[in-house]
Chains A and B, each alone.
Chain A
Amino acid sequence: MSETEIILKIKKIVEPYVQRLEGLNNFREETDFLKDLQINSANLVDVVLDVEDEFNIEIDNESMEGMLTVGDAKQIIQRKLNTN
Chain B
Amino acid sequence: MIGNDVIDLRLARAGRKSENFRYLKKVCCACEIQQIQDSRDPELMLWTFWAMKESAYKAHQRSCSLTRKLNPIAFKCFLDTDTSKVKIEDSIYQIDLAITSEYIHSSTGSGQIVWKVYRNDKKPYTTLLRSFLYGLHGEISHIEIKKGATGIPAYSMEASLRDKPISISHHGAFTAFAIPLINC
Contact = CB atoms under 8 A, between A and B. Distances in A.
A15 interface: no
A61 B151 contact: no
Interface residues of B, number: 17
Contacts of B50: 42
28 contacts: A34-B151, A35-B151, A40-B171, A41-B54, A41-B70, A41-B72, A42-B12, A44-B70, A45-B26, A45-B27, A45-B70, A45-B72, A48-B26, A48-B70, A49-B22, A49-B23, A52-B22, A61-B26, A61-B71, A61-B73, A61-B74, A64-B26, A64-B71, A65-B69, A66-B69, A66-B70, A68-B68, A68-B70
- B interface, by DSSP: helix, strand, loop or mixed? helix
Interface footprint category on A: 10 to 19
Contacts of A67: 70
A38 B72 CA distance: 18
Nearest to B57: A41
Contacts of B23: 45-46, 49
Interface of A: 34-35, 40-42, 44-46, 48-49, 52, 61, 64-68
- A interface, by DSSP: helix, strand, loop or mixed? helix
A68 B68 CA distance: 8
